[in-house]
Each structure stands twice: as C-alpha cells, then as structure tokens.
Structure 1
Amino acid sequence: MDLPLSGRLTRNIPELKYVNADNVARYRVIMRFFYEEYKRLRYWMKPEDVYNGVMRWGALPDYTLEQCMADLAQLEEWGNLASRHDAGRATTLEEYMRKKLQYLLTPYSIEIERLLESLEKVTGYGGSLEPTLFDSIAEKLFAIRRMDWDKEPGAALELWTSLHDAFKRLHENAADYIASMQTAKAEEMMVTESFLVYKDRLTHYLQNFVQALQRSAYKIEGNLEQISANLRDMFLERVADEELDRPRLEDVPDKASMVGELRQGWSNLDRWFRGDGRAPSELALLERATKDTIARVVRSVIRLQERKRSGVSRKKELEHLAGWFARMERLEDAHRLAGLVFGLFRTRHLQGEDLRLTDRADQSMWDEEPTVRALRSRSRKRIGRQETEPVPEHAERKRREREAYRRRQAEEWAVMQDLLRRGKLVVSELGVVPSAVRLRLLHWIGRCNASPRHSFMTPEGVVIAMTNPRTARRTILRSEDGDLELPDYEFVFAMEDAARMAAAAAEGGRGE
C-alpha cells in the first residue's frame, strides 16, 4: 500500500543549516556540547555554561562570550535550540541588563547530532551476518500465529517492536557486510598472502550464515503464509491501540496513518522473505550474494596457493621422476607413464606441406618423412643475433593497384562527361541502373543535403547542384540489387568556370 506524502517529508529543513554554515566550527562545537550534556541528563543551559564548556574543550581559542550568545541566537532561529527566560536572580548589574535566557536542544537537533556521532565512527560498510536473527523472526511470527499477544496488555506492541527491530538489523547488517566484501579494499586483501590465514574463519562465517538462512527460511515463509489477512489486521490494530495508549505530551498521531505505516512495514517484511511474484525475494538475492562471496573467496585462495606453489623448487620431484623414466625398458611403458604423469598435452596445429613419398595406405605415420618447421622461442632471455631480413618489395602489387585505380577514375570521368553533356539529371527519368551508379547517386544526395547551398564540387572541377532539395514528389530508383524509394531529386552539372559565369550573370540580372 502506498502511503500519501506528508508535509514533513517535503518541507525545508533549516535545522541542518548549521552543518554547512560559514561558522560551522563554532556551531558544531556548541551543538556537540549541548548533546553531550543532554546525555548526562542536563537539558537547560545558560550562555555562560555553554561558553565555559566550549572553552574547556579548547577547540575555539579566540572565542568570546558575545560571539557565543550570537551563535546561540542564530541556532535558535534555525530551530536547533529552544529558549526560555531565566527566572534566576541577577547578582551583577551586567547580568541584570543582559537578557537572561536558557537554551534546550530540540528533538530534530538531538537526532541530527546522534546521526553525526554515528557517521564519525564509520570507517567502512561494517555490518555483520547474525544467523540468530532468523530464529528470532521465526519465533515472533509463530507467537503472532498463536495469539500470545492477546493475553496481556502491551504484549502486541512489544512483539511488533522486537520483530521489526530484528528484521531491520538483519536486512541492514547483512547488506552492509556483503557490500563490504565487494570493495576495492577487500579485493586488495584477497590477493595478499595474509589472506590465507583469514580465509578459514571467513568461509566458516559465511557458510554458517547460509546454513542458518536455509534452515530458518522455510519456517519464516510458512509462518507468513499461515498468518491470514484478518489475523494480521487484528494484530496491527492492537499494536496501534497500544502505541496510542502511551501517555504523550506531544501531538497524538492519527490512528489511520499509524495503521497504514504498520501495514507497509508488514508488507516489506513479507516481500523480503517471500517476494511479490514478479521478482525473486530479497532473501533469495541475499543467499545468492553470500554464495557468490564464498565462491570469490575460494577462487582467491586457489590463485594464492597456485602462485605460492609456483615459486617452490621441484628439483627433487623431477629427479625422482627422471629416474623412474630411466628404469623403463620399453617405449610403450614410458608412453603410459607419461600419460599418467602429465596427462594430455595441449593440441597445437602446425601448418606445413605434406610430402608423401609413397601412396601406400598401410604405411604408418611414424614412417613418414618429417616436416621441418622452425619455431620461435618464447623465452624472455636474449637469444643470439639473428640475420636481418630484407624489407619485402611490393612494387608489382602497387603497380596493379595503381592501374585499377586509374581505370576506375577513367570510368567515373566518362560518366561525368556524359552528365555534363546532358546538363541535367532527374531521378525518376533513370531506368535500371547498376549498383555502382546507385551508390554514386546516394553519395551526391548526401553531399548536397549537407551543404548550405545544396551543391558541391568534385575533384575534376564539376559542380553538382540539387535544384529541388525540399521536393515532395517521390519516386522509385531501380537498381540491379533492389529498389529504393526516395524523393524525386533533380541535379544540374556544370564545370567550375561555367558555374561562376552563370552565377555572375544571375547576380547582374538581379542588380538590373
């Protein structure tokens, strides 16, 4: 169920201005002093007490009482502090002339300072995997099914609070812990030798969590299925009534909105464990992410062990193996031993000419003449100086390419001369044209459309202009490789000098 947006959600929060204000150091020290005194159950503070406490910390060496009073007034204006008149008796004239006030932290400011205190302790994602939370959630849902909350007042609210807190801790801590395993710091740690000592504890920790998840998931899903909609609504109504029965000095919330929030929380719990039918549940995603993390840990450990093993000398093992091969009397036994020790070698395809000296079909491949092929060494060691190879000569290939290019140029120029004699070309008047002509025509259309004057000049000095770029007529250009529908464009052709003379004559006619 979607809850309507309240005014508190969309309003501006002036209480946060002191965190990024110009005098942020002064405001932060004052607010932290108020918060520390609040935890000691000291609520109303005088400006002198605030100033003395701030100066004891030594964070503001040049601070004055006047600046402190101005900062307190500013914090009150932003809504961080509430003030009242100090009815105490003045002992000096200065105290009597000065307006005496006492200040108190507002609820918003308490939560802001509590958040800032938590943020100061954040060094990473943190989090943890607590398998006992699954059992706790299953027990709370089973208690709801048995209606244990209906026997004594306040039991429903306590049961819901325990259930919601356990679910929140499970979701947030597990998400944070799995996220911490995806960071660059975790990747760097998994490639160090010290990770081999840590991997057993980590793998055991993840495996215990997965086992508890698989063991308790069915209990939780079964309890959620057994709790009907009527029982759920009855329980949440009871929770809302017990919450409203608490004595409050603030405004009493509306019961309908409170029940709506409780139903939304229950819906989140149900969707997290059972899904919504369109996508897998968050529980399944958490299980998959945990298993993927275990797999990443195992792969990292295997790579580390292989790298560590690669640096160990195997001289004694190879000497023992060489002696084993030396004691073999038959070649077939040596082949079998090699197959057992080394396994199948990787297949390599070598290119060469098959020089057969006989056409006998029964001749073995081992009796054939070998094909000699030089292999380049893959060793990084510097080998002896090799003879330099001459640069290959490609004059003949260049000559063939040059002649082919000239033939194409001659053909294109012949086509261009024919067009110059005609002076004009309309797409609809063309018959079936070769594919090369179609490609050249599409090239002209693209060049003309890209030009502001809808014309361009070829390297031979021929000016090709499109006279009707915005025509609405359509036609079919038929070619050897298919038909193409396009606008019925019209082109005119002229040499560069003739085009200039025609443009000058047109300018002179417009001038007259």
Structure 2
Amino acid sequence: MIDSLKVGRKITESKYLNQENSFRYRNILRIAFYKYEKMKYWLDQNEIYEEIKKLEDFENYTIENLKQDLDMLVEFKNFTAVQDTKKTRTIEEFKNRKFKYQITPITIELERTLIKLENIQEGTRGSLDLSLIERFNATLKKIYNIKNINEKEIFSWWNQLNRDFKYLNESYQDYISKFYSPKTEELLKTTEFLAYKEGFIKYLKEFITGIQNHVGQIAETLQSKEIDEETIEFIIESIVRYEKINIAIDKNYDEIEAYDIHKGRFESIVSWFLGERGETSMAEQLLETTNEIIRKITRYALQIIEARELGASRKNEYKKVIDLFFKCDDIEEAHKLSSLVFGAISSRHITTLSEKTTELACSIYDEEPEFVNIQPSNRQGREKTASKITVKDRSKERQEKAIELINRREKEKEIMIRKIVDNKLIFKNIVDINPNERRVYLTWLSKAMNSKTEWTKNEYGMEYKLKDRNPSEKINLRCNDGDFLMPAYELIFKEKN
C-alpha cells in the first residue's frame, strides 16, 4: 500500500543539493560519509576542516566558513549536532563548547545513491550473459523443496532469487537500450564493424537458443502444481515472520505492508516470464528485440557491402576513362573527348526579345541582331533622378522628446528608489505600490536570484545583492490592485563612493 503522507512529505535532507553553496555542502557531507563507512560516526569541526583543506578549490576556505556551512547542514537535517558534555567552569567555556556532528541516515542513503549515479558509465552497462538466467533458473528450482527447510534458509533463498532476478532484468534491459542509442547506430554503419559482424550475430543467436530453453523450464516451474497459492503464502509468511523477529529493528514493523511487497515481487517474476492478462511477457519481448537487432545488423552490413561494390564498379569506369585520355594524340582531341564524357565546361543561354511565329525553319545565323540597352549595376552609373520628397528638419522635435524622456526617467527613478532605506529594499516594509512599481522590484529580485555573481546591477546602475535566497518567513506585498504572497526577501544595495 502507498502511504500518501510519507510519499508527500518534503525531503528537507535533499536541500543541500540545490543551494548556492552546494559545492561546499556536498564535499563536507562526502567527507562525513566516507568517515561513516570507516565506522567513524562522530566528527568535530576541526577534523572536517583538516580533511576539506586537502581538497582542490578550498585553499581560501576558513574555519568560519565551515561553521556557517555546518549550521546550515544541521538546519537541513543532514547532520545531527551534539555539544561536548565535558564540565565547564565559566560561562565563556559553556558558550564555546564544541559540537560533534553525525551524518543522518537519510543523508547516508542520498550519498550512496549519488555515488552510484557518479559511477554509471554508458559504455559498460548491461550484457546478454546467459549465465544470469541459468543462475536464476537454478535458484528457482529450489522452490520444490521449500517446505522442508527452516525460515532462515527460506529468507536466504528468497533474497538470492530477488538479487538474481533484479540483476538479470537490469542487465538485459540496459544492454538492449544501449543498442538503440545514437552512438551504437553510428557504429553499426561503419565498415570497421563488418569484421565483428559474424561473431556478434553468433553470440546473439546462442543467447536466443539458450534463453528459449531456460525460459521454457522457468515457465514450467512457475506453472507446476507444486507452486500453488498455498505454497506462495507459506513462503511469504515465513519471510515476513523471520524479518519481524530477526531483521526489523523498528517496533512499528508493518506485517501487511511487508507481505504486499514480497507478494508483489513474486508476481513481477511471474509476469516477466509468463505475462499477464494476455499480454506478451518480457522474456518474449527480449527474444523479439534480440531478433530485431540481428536483422538490423544484417541490414546495415548489406548496405555497407553494396556501397563498397558500387564504389568498386565506378573505380573501374574511371580507370577506363583515364586510359582513353592517355591515348589522345593532342590537347584538341582531349578537349573533344572531355566534351563527350563531361559535357560543356561552361554554357550560356542565348535568347531574343522578339518571339518568332514565322520563319521557323531559319537558322540562328539568319537572325538579325538585337540591341539591348544595359544599365550599370553599381550606384554611380545609374541615372540621377530629381527627388520629389522634401526632408523636414525634425531635430528640434527629437531633442524635445529626448528631454521629456529623460525627465520622465528621472521621476521614475526617484519613485523607485524612495523605498530603499539605509541601502536596503525590504519587501516586508513596502506598502501601497502600483503594478508598474511591483513589476520593477520583482525584476530586480529575479535578476539577483539568477545572477551567477554575488552582486548585480539594475537599470539605474545601482549595484545590489540578495540577502537570503530561502527565507522561511512569508509576507503579503500590499499593492494597489491586491496583495501578493511571497517570501520575505531583502535586497542589499552597495554604497556609492
């Protein structure tokens, strides 16, 4: 069953991945994760600082920077912080007690996932290894003797079966998807691939033969009378009971949810090999896709061979033409041969202005010459024409408009910067602004949030920055046309020298 409350909960621990200082946060947490892997669960500030100073790009990183970053990571629930419990004699010693930090369980899982993502390599994913389905078949056949073994052995067998199935499915699917990538498509079209074609097709055909045999045996096992609903319930109940007594640390272990999960896994295995509701099974789809790959390889190979043969036949033709040119007695004879082989090097289309309806039998040499007046294409050669348009002097009008525009801009600037008090634009303190003012302020805010540098400039040349990108407080920005709900942002403006 899906718990909508759990699924809908915001994962605060993932915030560190999308912050301005994400680079620093991730390195700190990766250090803590590697220490955790070495069973070093609690770290103090100095230990983390020593490790992070060894990394590239942290030469100017200070202990104060680290303290700020650790405070943020505690706020994001990536670290659990506990103060040193040694006895203190003065108030100053009490205030300066150092914290110890422990990476939280959710952050550990996030880091594990990130490491897996970082190590995924497109070129090495998946294979059509026949041993994967052979091992799965051998593990599944132990189900016939399942009622004669204890719960611990059933639990171990079930985990092995799930691991084999997961690896089998992922490996085959990744291999097939890799074959349909643009990179592989280009490789199949190269002449270099012809050398591997026969061996590769043989490998695919052997895989098809092997998987057909094993899929048949697996289907027979899953459909046998011994593997009925009662047997499946016995297996899953044994697994749930063993998990609850020996594995689960949480007192709130949900037996119904665990039962549904394990039963769903078994149903997925059955569906993969037998299909469901009359649909084609994944095993059959895998066979069909593999056959399609063989057809595609063969088709590309034929195209390459045909292109080669076409090129070879043209090559012989070119050799024959070269031989004919070589046997020419002089350049004139070569020119004549060239006109026959290649045609006219340059041609002209000659036409006349008047159409002839009579004298159709006349030769072109009997035609009277036509005279055409040609105008130069450049400007200097064209005839000058008197302009009928009188240009009015509008310089005074443009100057007046420019002055008017400057005055209007100055008034707008005075209105806009009126809300900046002590070099700060605090949105919480802004009241009764019109839509145009709101648009300008939100444009400034947007530029600051999207800026790659700390400081940015507005249209008036004023430099400013955003104080906090993720304020927790929400405010209502009061405008003439209604209230605007937004976080309580603040813009800090740089003082002019």
Normalised by the length of structure 2, the TM-score is 0.60
Name 1:269's counterpart in structure 2: 269
Structure with bigger gyration radius? 1
Once residues 274 and 255 of structure 1 are traced to their aligned partners in structure 2, the CA distance between those partners, rounded to angstroms, is 28
Q: Secondary structure at the match of 2:102?
A: strand
The 5 Å alignment of 1:40-439 reads 40-87=38-85, 97-124=95-122, 126-147=125-146, 150-226=148-224, 227-312=227-312
Task: Percent identity, please.
Answer: 27
Conservation of the 8 A alpha-carbon contact between 2:74 and 2:81: yes
Q: Secondary structure at the match of 1:240?
A: helix
Conserved 8 A contact 1:86-1:102: yes
- Aligned partner of residue 311 in structure 1, secondary structure: helix
> CA offsets, 1:336-392, max 9 Å, x none?
xxxxxxxxxxxxxxxxxxxxxxxxxxxxxxxxxxxxxxxxxxx9865896987999x
Q: Name the CA distance, whole Å, in 2 between partners of 1:189 and 1:67.
A: 50
Change (3 A) 1:306 1:68: same
CA deviation string 1:60-96 (max 9, x = no partner):
2221112212212211221212222334689999876
Indicate if the aligned counterparts of 1:133 and 1:170 stay in contact, CA closer than 8 A.
yes
- The Cα shift of 1:206 comes to 2.4
CA distance 1:139–1:91, shift in 2 (3 Å): farther
Distance in 2 (CA, whole Å) between partners of 1:167 and 1:8 is 28
Q: Is the 8 A contact 2:151 2:239 kept in 1?
A: no
Post-superposition shift, 1:277? 2.7
1:30 maps to which of 17, 28, 31: 28
C-alpha RMSD over aligned residues:
3.4
- SS of equivalent to 1:253: coil
CA spacing shift, 1:390–1:11, aligned 2, 3 Å: farther
CA distances 1:87-117 after superposition (whole Å, capped 9, x unpaired)? 4689999876423221122221111111111
CA distance in 2 between partners of 1:64 and 1:91 (Å): 29
- For residues 460-496 of structure 1, the C-alpha deviation after alignment (integer angstroms, 9 at most, x for no partner) is xxxxxxxxxxxxxxxxxxxxxxxxxxxxxxxxxxxxx
Give 1:47 shift. 1.1
3-state SS of paired residue (1:245) = helix
Offset, 1:48:
0.9
In structure 1, the residue matched to 2:426 is none
Distance in 1 of aligned mates of 2:301 and 2:93: 72
Counterpart secondary structure, 2:54: helix
> Tell me, what secondary structure is at the counterpart of 1:56?
coil
Partners of 2:84 and 2:100 within 8 A in 1: yes
SS of alignment partner, residue 104 of structure 1: strand
8 Å contact kept, 1:86–1:101: yes
Find the residue that maps to 2:299 and give its secondary structure. helix
C-alpha displacement of 1:228: 0.5
Structure 1 unmatched runs, 5+ = 320-378, 396-512
Q: Report the counterpart of residue 423 of structure 2 in structure 1.
A: none
Equivalent AA in structure 2 for residue 230 of structure 1: E
Q: Return closer, same or farther for 1:48/1:288 CA change in 2, 3 Å cut-off.
A: same
| Contact persistence 1:15–1:80 (CA under 8 A) | yes
Do the aligned partners of 1:80 and 1:109 also contact (CA within 8 Å) in 2?
yes
CA contact (8 A) 2:151 2:238 kept: no
Q: Which runs of 5+ in 2 are unaligned?
A: 320-340, 358-497
C-alpha contact 1:150 1:156 (8 A) present in aligned 2: no
Q: Do the aligned residues in 2 keep the contact of 1:82 with 1:103 (CA within 8 Å)?
A: yes
Counterparts in 2 of 1:208 and 1:35: CA distance versus 1, 3 Å: farther
Question: Kindly tell me: are residues 380 and 18 of structure 1, through their superposed partners in 2, closer, same or farther at Cα, counting changes over 3 Å?
Answer: farther
Over 3 Å counting, the alpha-carbon distance change for 1:130 and 1:244 in structure 2 is farther
Alpha-carbon distance between aligned partners in 2 of 1:250 and 1:382, rounded to the nearest angstrom? 91
Whether the 8 Å CA contact 1:81–1:105 is kept in 2: the answer is yes
Amino acid in the other structure paired with 1:135:
E
How many residues align structurally? 334
Aligned partner letter, 1:285: Q
Partner amino acid, structure 1, of 2:6: R
Q: Tell me how far apart the structure 1 counterparts of residues 247 and 58 of structure 2 sit (CA, whole Å).
A: 42
> Partners in 1 of 2:352 and 2:176 — Cα distance?
61
Give the aligned partner of residue 412 of structure 2. none
Q: CA deviation at 1:185?
A: 0.8
Mapped contact 1:244–1:252 kept (Cα < 8 A): no
Partner Cα separation in structure 2 for residue 10 and residue 151 of structure 1: 41
The answer (yes or no) to whether the contact 1:272–1:281 under 8 Å persists in 2 is yes
Aligned-partner Cα distance in 2 for 1:151–1:12: 44
| Contact 1:131–1:212 (CA under 8 A) maintained in structure 2 | yes
Distance in 1 separating the partners of 2:248 and 2:74: 24
Moved more, 220-229 or 380-389: 380-389
Does the CA-based 8 Å contact 2:13-2:107 persist in structure 1?
yes
Q: Distance in 1 between matches of 2:343 and 2:154?
A: 78
Question: Is the CA contact 1:138–1:223 (under 8 Å) kept in the aligned structure 2?
Answer: no
Give the direction of change, closer, same or farther, for the CA distance of 1:381–1:215 in structure 2 (3 Å limit).
farther
Q: What is the rounded CA distance, in whole Å, between the counterparts of 1:381 and 1:25 in structure 2?
A: 68
Q: State the partner residue of 1:492.
A: none
Partner-residue secondary structure (3-state), 2:60? coil
